[in-house]
Amino acid sequence: MEKEVIERKVKNILKQIEPYLKADGGGVNFVRLDDDMTVWVELTGHCANCPHSTQTLKNGIENTMKSVIPEIKSVEKI
């Protein structure tokens, strides 16, 4: 799959996840998709400093992303 197509899918998934984060006072912004298929995001609001942010990132965002887009290697926060 082309990187541009994957990037559009990544942004779409983040839009679908964001209401769940906003319900807890947080949010997520797409930063970039590297050539090795690592997605970089910025966690915002309460998610930015939450002690559970790594769990949210890996168990929530990354698992969802990889289940829809198997090409994704990982999701990391800046």
Predicted local confidence at residue 49, as pLDDT: 87
Q: For the whole model, what pTM was predicted?
A: 0.92
Task: List beta partners, residue 40.
Answer: 32, 76
Q: How far is CA 18 from CA 4, 22, 36, 50, 73, in A?
A: 21, 6, 24, 16, 21
What top-level class would CATH report for the domain 3-77? alpha beta
Predicted local confidence at residue 30, as pLDDT: 97
pLDDT truncated to tens, each residue of the chain (78 aa)? 699 999 999 999 999 999 999 998 999 999 999 999 999 999 999 998 888 899 999 999 999 999 999 999 999 999
Angle at CA 48, nearest 5°, toward 51 and 70?
90
How many angstroms from the chain centroid is the CA of residue 23?
A: 16
Predicted local confidence at residue 43, as pLDDT: 96
